[in-house]
Homo-oligomer: A and B are copies of this chain.
């Protein structure tokens, strides 16, 4: 009736791809809206959140490692890290084996703020997970993992493969 033939499949395929693109665009934006609002009140932005998050996840992380995760320059990190240190959210300590390193950790104030930002996103994500159901969450992880480059996949890959399973060992 429409004479599309195989082109019809390509059309649907493209629609599926574009739908996913829009879900990622809107989803990422709405997912970050909560923390953005909280941070704005404190005169901070998304870059501060990222530092708080990864320092919280990796206490004692070096500046170099943090730069590699965020993929920004040290100049960019400095602009956001200094206020966090001055504001009492992050502390530096010299490396024990290598005294050139500055190991970063959260203060209790830093932990509290990171927790507050986390809870904002946790609420949204937990609701989305609950509404979608367990198998859907598993599918979500699979697809998202496929979007990661080699470097990022190496960072989270192991955790994806065991997510949901009651593993007692360290997950970091």
- A155 near B26: Cβ-Cβ < 8 Å: yes
- A143 near B148: Cβ-Cβ < 8 Å: no
- In the bound complex, what is the Cα–Cα distance between A149 and B28 (angstroms)? 11
- B26 near A152: Cβ-Cβ < 8 Å: yes
List 9 A-B pairs, Cβ < 8 Å.
A13-B126, A16-B164, A21-B121, A24-B144, A26-B149, A132-B142, A133-B142, A139-B140, A140-B142
* Residues of A bordering B, CB below 8 Å: 1-2, 8, 12-31, 33, 50, 53, 57, 71, 118, 121-122, 124-129, 131-133, 135-149, 152, 155-156, 159-160, 163-164, 166, 168, 171
- B129 near A143: Cβ-Cβ < 8 Å: yes
- A16 near B163: Cβ-Cβ < 8 Å: yes
- In the bound complex, what is the Cα–Cα distance between A144 and B31 (angstroms)? 10
- In the bound complex, what is the Cα–Cα distance between A166 and B33 (angstroms)? 34
Taking the closest CB of chain B, its distance from the CB of A36, in whole angstroms, is 12
- A125 near B20: Cβ-Cβ < 8 Å: yes
- A143 near B136: Cβ-Cβ < 8 Å: yes
- In the bound complex, what is the Cα–Cα distance between A133 and B164 (angstroms)? 19
The closest CB in chain B to the CB of A14 belongs to: B122
